[in-house]
Amino acid sequence: MAGDPPVAVAIDRGAGLERGFAWLAATDHKKTAAKIAVASLFFFGLSGLLALTMRAELAQPGLQFVSDHTYDELFTMHGSGMIYLFLTPAALGLGLYLVPLQVGASEIAAPRLALFGFWIYLFGGLTMYSGFLTNNGAGDDSWTATIPLSNSTGTPGVGMDLWVIGVALAVFGSLLIGITILLTILRHRAPGMTMLRMPVFTWTMLATVFMVVASFPVLVVAMGLLLAERHIGGIFTGSTGSIVYQHLFWFYGHPVVYVMFFPFVGAVGEVVATFSRKRFFGYRALVVSLLFFTALSMSVWGHHMFITGAVKNQFYSLTSQLLAVPAGIEYLDLIATMIGGAIVFRAPMLFALGFIVQFLLGGLTGIILASPPLDYHVNGSYFVVAHFHYTLLAGSFFGLLAGVHYWFPKATGAMLRERLAKASFWVLVAGTNLTFFPMFFLGYEGMPRRVANYEPGLGDLNLLSSIGAGVIAIGVLLVLANFVVSLRRRVPAGDNPWGAQTLEWWTTSPPPRDNFTSLPEITSYAPLLDRREAAEEEQERRAEVPV
Amino acid sequence: MNGGAKGGGGPLLAWAAIMIALGTMLAIWSEGSATALLFLVGPIPLILVAAWNRARPAPGGPRLLARVSVPVVVIAIGAALAAIGLTGGLWLVLIGGEVALFGLVWLAREMTLERRGVGRR
């Protein structure tokens, strides 16, 4: 099948439109993904500013800058922004860009649906944030909006309504994007690209969209019911209503954590294999473990409800502890890929190693939370805050940056500045650990989460944490500065600057509209590595032939 | 360009089977708790996708794709306005609905023109 031309024939309908507007309505999956990247970065910036404001408030005991009510809005919109509007869409956007390229497709399946998904997500985000413009302020019941706090008595006002509608829109948009990725994998793979020849990243995206398709509709329904509860009432009534809402919410709420994790495991897997100059270790074991990992991760939502006494603790504790098995297999694969490899410590590899080490801390403290007796002790404390920030920021965000630094040359045709990238990595490592490690001790000391004020004796640890937040902000600014500098003063990347193994590196940087003008023969998940090895063997064979 | 795509439903069905097994386990353990139903509802869309993919594999040959689709953006604006109208008032729902309807008609026209373009090729 080598050399097959692309099958999609694009109709040039954008020629008459203004260039900027044409970009906004472009159906090319790469442009839709770029729009998602810009929007999610915007929401990351907004949500990050809210976090800095919170940390400024918490730098000292007592109330300094904001009232209790404003603080409630800040942590609600920070958490909601980071989960619904930044990490989840960023993960799906990465998949939207890369999956067609990795499976040899000339376009995403249903490109209009993906475009529609992006706009619905964007309007959802803007709707959510527009609550700040209303009289009662934005939503202030945390990103979970637990009943009865979030009903019309607990939180009156339009701001909370806008939050509910915004969440429903944003999650629905993400669901649509996920569906297009699933259909692309199922229906648009290149000849020879069997399921067991798909790259590691694409497999992690497939696992991700399983969870998206299975769990995201439940949250859209839950938000619809919550809005009806706020306006009509009688839906989530009494203690049973609260429990039913929590079941619906956490059926989405836990899998989404893995939606924000798996794509970055895939990205890190690609980076580790490329920069170890080795084939990915245990490919099939990874595929099987991903299937079990995703199914198990759909089955643990009840561990968020241990303290309600309304769930079967044994079942959810067992499934939560079992998560350590597939997670262990993935870690084993990543480490075994590095063993014996000729490791090159370029910036993407550093971010990948940062992900591997720091996520481990988040994962191991998750095992503590999966145990009901220990969870009873630390639930609602800063221990939980430290745990999920180690998984999402110290882990997933570093994985995202590993992927961004790795694929930036492919997407833009320009190399990032290596020194600046390494500097931003070390600043981010310092900032992340300075911010979140003290929170384990704060939680152990009994500091509750979601409060603007605290015991004076906890001031030193909080001050450290606040200084760390400032350091993270500097690290993020360095990353952004690197993007700007590298795009303005371009160092051409070439098609495959890293010597990578997978199909997306076969095409030009950046890829053309239809992605490929030809395709190599696909005999494994790493067709470019296969070609290099075949060429080396041929060279050796020729060298051995006596003259 | 969809070689081997028929086999793609395998992982979906395997995953759905694991989900159903876990749901059954929870149902037995919790003596018929209704929450186990979530497990059974979750994989249904994936089973349907796998069945559809098996019954109707992606057609080969050229696909025509519009580079730009403005009506999609118009539909999204209409849908978002209608959704915000759920708290803003019926007038906003109606305006949003009309905008979305206008976008749908525009999209139908765009797709009809595309199909005619295929015919001419």
Question: What confidence tens digit (pLDDT) does each residue in A248-275 have?
Answer: 999 999 999 999 999 999 999 999 999 9
List the single best residue of A155, A187, A247, A518 to mutate versus B (max B Cβ within 10 A): A187
When CB atoms are compared, the residue of B9, B30, B62 closest to A315 is B30
Q: Is A9 domain-assigned? A: no
B51 plus B77 within the same structural domain: no
pLDDT in tens, A338-359: 999 999 999 999 999 999 999 9
Is A266 a member of any domain?
yes
Task: Provide ipTM, 2 decimals.
Answer: 0.90
Contact A187 B121 (CB under 8 A): no
User: pLDDT > 90: what percent of chain B?
Assistant: 34
Q: What is the CATH number of the domain that holds A253?
A: 1.20.210.10
Mean pLDDT (chain A, rounded): 92
What spatial distance separates the first Cα and last Cα of chain A, rounded to whole Å? Answer: 35
Which of helix, strand or coil describes residue A450? coil
Rounded Cα distance between B38 and A215, Å, is: 9
* E-only strand ranges, A3-111: 8-11
Closest-CA residue of B relative to A170 is B80
Q: How many folded domains does chain B comprise? A: 2
Q: How far is B13 from chain A (nearest CA, A)?
A: 11
Q: Are A213 and A92 in contact (CB under 8 A)?
A: no
Query: With an 8 Å Cβ cutoff, are A9 and B77 in contact?
Result: no
Q: What is the distance in angstroms between the Cα of B89 and the nearest Cα belonging to chain A?
A: 11
Record: contact A213-B49, CB cut-off 8 A:
yes
pLDDT at residue A7 is higher than 50: no
**A348 domain-assigned:** yes
Tell me which of B29, B65, B120 to substitute to probe the interface with A (most A C-beta atoms closer than 10 Å): B65
pLDDT confidence of residue B3: 42
Tell whether B61 is covered by a domain. Answer: no
Residue pLDDT, tens place only, A119-169: 999 999 999 999 999 998 999 999 999 999 999 999 999 999 999 999 999
Q: What is the pLDDT of residues A492-546, one digit of tens each?
A: 999 999 999 999 999 999 999 889 999 999 999 999 999 999 999 888 888 887 6
Lowest mean pLDDT among A33-47, A218-232, A520-534, B27-41: B27-41
Is the confidence at residue A2, as pLDDT, over 80? no
Please give the structure tokens belonging to residue A103: 């499976």
Provide the residue range defining the domain that includes B17.
5-55
Q: Kindly state whether residue A232 falls inside one of the protein's structural domains.
A: yes
Helix (H) or strand (E) holding B63: strand B63-66
Question: Could you tell me if A405 and A416 are in contact, meaning their C-beta atoms sit under 8 angstroms apart?
Answer: yes
Give the pLDDT score at A4: 40
Specify the pLDDT at position A25: 93
B43, B70, B79: residue with CB nearest A214: B43
The pair of structure tokens assigned to A34 is 């770029």
- What is the rounded distance in angstroms from the CA atom of residue A354 to the CA atom of residue A367? 20
**Residues B48, B75 share a domain:** no
Model pLDDT, residue A1: 38
Residue A544: how many CB atoms within 10 A of its CB? 7
Whether residue A202 is contained in a domain is answered as: yes
Instruction: Give chain A positions within 8 Å (CB) of B103.
Output: none
For residues A94 and A475, give the distance between their C-alpha atoms in angstroms, rounded to a whole number: 21
How many domains is chain A built from?
1
Model confidence over A475-501: pLDDT tens digits? 999 999 999 999 999 999 999 999 999
Question: Which of A102, A78, A79, A95 shows the shortest CA–CA distance to A36?
Answer: A95
- Domain annotation covers residue B63: no
Residue A12 lies inside a defined structural domain of this protein: no
pLDDT digits (tens, 9 = 90+) for A409-437: 999 999 999 999 999 999 999 999 999 99
Task: Count Cβ atoms below 10 Å from residue A131 Cβ, excluding itself.
Answer: 25
CB atoms within 10 A of CB A458: 19
Among B55, B79, B95, the domain-final residue is B55
pLDDT level of residue B34 (50, 70, 90 thresholds)? confident
Nearest CA in chain B to A26: B68
Extract the tokens encoding A273: 């294999």
Q: Which domain holds residue A262?
A: 19-541
